[in-house]
Structure 1
Amino acid sequence: MSSDVQIGQGQRSYFWYAVWVGVFVGLLFGFAVSSLVSTVKYHDLREKTATQRERVVGMLPSQVKHGRFGKAPKFTGLINQNGQPINSANLAGKVQVVSFLSPYGVHTTPVLVANLRNLYQDLAQSHLLGSKVVFVSYNLDPQHADPKALSQFMHDLADLGSNDSANWQFLTGSESTIGTIVAGRYGVHYHVLDDADKAEYVERMKKTGEYDYAKAINPLAQNAPKHQRIVSHNVVFLVSPNGDIRIRINQADAYPTSRLLYEIVSMLKLPGMDKGGN
């Protein structure tokens, strides 16, 4: 009887020992599997993040072209958004941030201006605006957008008034003069959309959700004259103080302003850039 009790107690002890061992092994196995899954997910996330970073970093060089693309155009007879006459001599000796805008634009123009406005603020905070750097935009629709429209555009989209024109010149003139400067010297070719092209363009923008959004952020587009729209170009040039066209930036509306600022500061550090001249 006594031996039977001892055997029963021993069996129960073995049973509970086996249970605890099983629980411990199960927990250990579960932890190992969880760690393995976490490790796989971590490495997968690292690979995806690295790939995304490579894509972003890889985009930047493809957007920028460095070189010497000739001299910035010399001109007279243009007027700015205040109706003041401007010639190329007024811009000499400073870095020019050059863009090409359609005041009634509803696609790249509003977004590009928003990005340039950020750069404008950065340069003001760096005490380079006006003294070392000036913005120059050429009006791609001189037939329909007069200086009053340009002034309204700068107020609505860039939040700039007439006193800011010395730092950001929005220039217009005859179609032939603008064409000679924009297409002839900068190699930026623009065109007027016919009715079929315009309808296709609007439909494409509606599908991507850009059309209504862009109209909302460019109030001028709401009351634009009925004419065939000119497609503006999403490109920015940097002209050195000595008048060399040195940098072309494509897809400029998405180019980081920090990189633009870096390009400008680097240009100002080049030998002879403090001498100016056009």
Structure 2
Amino acid sequence: MIGLLVAIALGGVLPWRPPPTKPDVAAAGDPPRMMFKAPVFNGFVNQQGRAVSSDAYAGKVLVVTFMYPYCTRVCPSLASRMVNLETLLRQRGLQNRVQLLSFNVDPEGSGPAEMSRFMQQYGADPADGLWQFLTAPVAVTERVVQQGFHANYEKIAVDAVDQVFAAQRQNGSYRYMPVMANPLADAAHPAYDIIHNSSAIIVGPKGVVRYVLGQADTVSVAAMMNDIIRVLQANKGA
């Protein structure tokens, strides 16, 4: 529900894997950087319940985000951006060179059915393979998302959210994010929220991360598209 770059839960910093040796942020509009190797993965299914692995996307530019179906703050905005990116990619004839991937950070509480409905709410066709929403067992998700992409997430009780915000204000990491419409969340009334990374990670065709766009819900679709094109045009093509 709450996408944060630096997440404070109940007064303590969420556990974080040591950052890669390469720079861990590349702002939209910067030249692409050689940052770190994206994780290889298998054991996931998409929003249609079909098994997928990183091999299926070999040679493509990946735009990776982190969401969950009951999210009411950052995810609706990110989902809208993915839908608009789909349109732009097709207009430019790039739909076969780029893959949009979202990893479900609530693998315990939601699966393909919820992921599919979430995508439909924001204008996506779940049968369209250009944007895929992936989920896996908890241990697999943690390995790929937290250890591989260095993207934190943490489930907390709903009644702990105010404590989290208070800790963030004291720490200086608080960022206001308005609640957005999510009919799926309204119907489910989950007893938890998930604090999660709000970055968009752009991976080059050879599996090297070229951009980590912080607070991607504030990055325009045009800026993301320009960065994708920069990666496609990069001489090293990594």
TM above 0.5: yes
Question: How far did 1:63 drift?
Answer: 6.0
- Secondary structure at 1:247 match in 2: strand
Distance 1:118 1:63, change over 3 A: same
Q: Which amino acid aligns with 2:100?
A: F
Question: How far did 1:122 drift?
Answer: 1.1
- The aligned residue for residue 144 of structure 2 is 181
List per-residue Cα deviations over 1:116-146 (Å, max 9, x = no partner).
32222111111112x1101000000000111
Distance 1:125 1:136, change over 3 A: same
Q: Structure 1 residue aligned with 2:93, among 105, 124, 127? A: 127
Distance 1:269 1:190, change over 3 A: same
List per-residue Cα deviations over 1:89-119 (Å, max 9, x = no partner).
0011110000000210011111121123222
Q: Percent identity?
A: 28
Question: How far did 1:262 drift?
Answer: 1.2
- The aligned residue for residue 187 of structure 2 is 223
Instruction: Give unpaired runs (5+ residues) of structure 1.
Output: 1-60
Are the aligned partners of 1:138 and 1:182 in contact in 2 as well (CA < 8 Å)?
A: yes
- Secondary structure at 2:193 match in 1: coil
Q: Structure 2 residue aligned with 1:259, among 186, 200, 223? A: 223
Are the aligned partners of 2:60 and 2:97 in contact in 1 as well (CA < 8 Å)?
A: yes
Partners in 2 of 1:187 and 1:209 — Cα distance? 22
List per-residue Cα deviations over 1:19-71 (Å, max 9, x = no partner).
xxxxxxxxxxxxxxxxxxxxxxxxxxxxxxxxxxxxxxxxxx75677532322
- The aligned residue for residue 142 of structure 1 is 107
More strand by share: 2
- Secondary structure at 2:56 match in 1: helix
Aligned residues: 205
Partners in 2 of 1:262 and 1:97 — Cα distance? 12
2:85 is equivalent to residue 113 of structure 1: no
Q: Which amino acid aligns with 1:107?
A: R
Question: How far did 1:73 drift?
Answer: 1.2
2:216 is equivalent to residue 246 of structure 1: no
- Secondary structure at 2:101 match in 1: strand
Are the aligned partners of 1:190 and 1:231 in contact in 2 as well (CA < 8 Å)?
A: yes
* Runs of 4+ that moved beyond 3 A: 61-66, 199-204
More helix by share: 1
Distance 1:63 1:262, change over 3 A: closer
Q: RMSD across aligned C-alpha pairs, in angstroms?
A: 2.5
Distance 1:138 1:64, change over 3 A: farther
Are the aligned partners of 2:100 and 2:132 in contact in 1 as well (CA < 8 Å)?
A: yes
Are the aligned partners of 1:80 and 1:147 in contact in 2 as well (CA < 8 Å)?
A: yes
Provide the TM-score with structure 2 as the length reference: 0.78
Structure of higher CA gyration radius: 1
- The aligned residue for residue 104 of structure 1 is 70
- Secondary structure at 1:241 match in 2: coil
Are the aligned partners of 2:152 and 2:196 in contact in 1 as well (CA < 8 Å)?
A: no
Partners in 1 of 2:201 and 2:52 — Cα distance? 19
Partners in 1 of 2:133 and 2:75 — Cα distance? 13
Are the aligned partners of 1:95 and 1:132 in contact in 2 as well (CA < 8 Å)?
A: yes
- Secondary structure at 1:169 match in 2: strand
